[in-house]
Chain A
């Protein structure tokens, strides 16, 4: 099957509600979740997806944490092709993700960052595959029978061919954007730019929607509007991951999440999902649950200087 051509989106006003954004994710879709580790993950949109009980999703990505762990707990996934899902050395392995994969509820098809990059690049260029030298000799090809080998016709060396990955949907949280769908990402973009270009649809939550005329003044990575399908202004939309300069990573909330997750699926459901996901009717409700303005002020305090920033990450810092 030849590579399909990909649409562009030209609606001058793509603003929608958060729930309408989530409704565009179909059961069984291949999704690429933006951000990474504890930074700029589209958490509000993922919670909205769980509230809609969307199922059968496949996730592809590089290094992730609470985002994929939460989707695992909420029953939204059937396949994971992430490169890493965990809470680094700080809290350790991802409890819900582990349970879902070890029980067989979610199929483990782990990948690695550059393999994913090459597969997205193939999709971006409208090509069926990309070659690479690495991976050969590791156990990954046994997880991925779709990989092929070839002898390079120019140099005679053996190469690995990895097929294009064209996610159905990229979910991205950006600091700034406009109604037309232009996005500005500040700080490390992780794989978001690749995701936006390789996916058939891009759904973006935006911390602050601004007039198009202001975008030019903003530093950062700019994603042109025609890649973007729909946007929604969602302040604190990455919480509890960071969205600098607006707010830092909420480590105390993550600890609360982790402690509930470690106690088992039922406890996590009662102590976290039933409160912060299904117990909150919408994002405004969620923001109230996590402590409203006081929490926002605490996480914004990083800009007050190094001591304030450090304080946010000390053991025993209060949520």
Chain B
């Protein structure tokens, strides 16, 4: 049994960072009693899963990416995912084939995925900009392609929604009109075929958490703005998105984490590994916590 959070905080923590807001928003997409997996190179998601396990989802099966350890209790986050630090306290570990088999057999409840292009249907590209003419080779998606089809639900995330101008004044949208290559499958293929007609196990993207807002996907499988941060606006989202996202009838404000959650995140990540995911201009953002 994982240790629950202590009941009293230090009484000093009064604000949190964008990273801590995003971790909390990601953790809220996890349901208790489900098997949840994170990949490598995603400390925000690693922390979100540990937060969920110690708050609302104590019976979640936490499978750590790269080590495939079950319910580990790492003493701190290492800067690389396949490190012995990361599976300390695990009750057992899976082999690579077992991890993917259980997703293919319908046992994996949720997986977290990202992309350097994410389109309105939740397709993600982590393979290459430009295809088949390769303009920029991206690192590749690991097992994301397979799990995007097989995991019951997906939560997407990116910390680079804001489309900054490059030196030539061009803006490359992370939330792009079209993915050059579909690495991870969303709700609709490049030629307009519906995911549900492909007979995959999984139901596709359910949530997208960015540094500007929280999105869900409507009945058409189209991305829809659902909530904002206290310091972002609908205009920020529209200006920085390469297509027109749909808007929920009521746009909420993402609630901040409880103080105990913030303190837990800071204890588990003393090296601030997750801040490598956050852009410099977003490091200054602060949010009042409950």
- A and B together in one complex: yes
Contact with B along A89-104 (1 / 0, CB 8 A): 1100110011001100
Chain A: minimal CB distance from B182 (Å): 4
Say whether B140 contacts A85, CB under 8 Å. yes
- B49-93, CB < 8 A from A: 66-69, 75-76, 78-85, 87, 93
Chain A-chain B contacts (Cβ-Cβ < 8 Å), number: 190
Say whether A115 contacts B146, CB under 8 Å. yes
Surface stretch bound by B, among A132-140, A204-212, A283-291: A132-140
Say whether B81 contacts A194, CB under 8 Å. no
Assembled-state Cα–Cα distance A230/B195 (Å):
48
Say whether A113 contacts B146, CB under 8 Å. yes
Residues from chain A with Cβ under 8 Å of B150 in the complex: 114, 133-134
Q: How large is the interface on B (under 10, 10 to 19, 20 to 34, 35 or more residues)?
A: 35 or more
Assembled-state Cα–Cα distance A112/B100 (Å):
11
Say whether B271 contacts A314, CB under 8 Å. yes
Q: Kindly state whether residue B158 has any CB partner on chain A within 8 Å.
A: no
Say whether A102 contacts B137, CB under 8 Å. yes
Q: Kindly state whether residue A265 has any CB partner on chain B within 8 Å.
A: no
Assembled-state Cα–Cα distance A101/B139 (Å):
11
Contact with A along B231-268 (1 / 0, CB 8 A): 00000000000000000000000000000000000000
Please classify the interface of chain B as helix (H, G, I), strand (E, B), loop, or mixed, using the class held by over half of its residues. loop
**Known A85-B140, A110-B127: A313·B79 in contact at CB below 8 Å:** yes
Q: Kindly state whether residue A158 has any CB partner on chain B within 8 Å.
A: yes
Residues from chain B with Cβ under 8 Å of A112 in the complex: 141-146, 183
Say whether B132 contacts A142, CB under 8 Å. yes
Q: Which of A37, A134, A158, A244 meets B66, CB within 8 Å?
A: A37
Say whether A193 contacts B141, CB under 8 Å. no
Contact with B along A105-124 (1 / 0, CB 8 A): 00010101111010001000
Q: Which residues of A contact B (CB under 8 A)?
A: 36-39, 62-63, 82-86, 88-90, 93-94, 97-98, 101-102, 108, 110, 112-115, 117, 121, 132-140, 142, 157-158, 187-191, 193-194, 242, 244-245, 248-249, 251, 302, 306, 309-310, 313-315
6 residue pairs, one from A and one from B, having the closest CB atoms: A113-B143, A88-B41, A86-B139, A134-B149, A114-B146, A114-B100
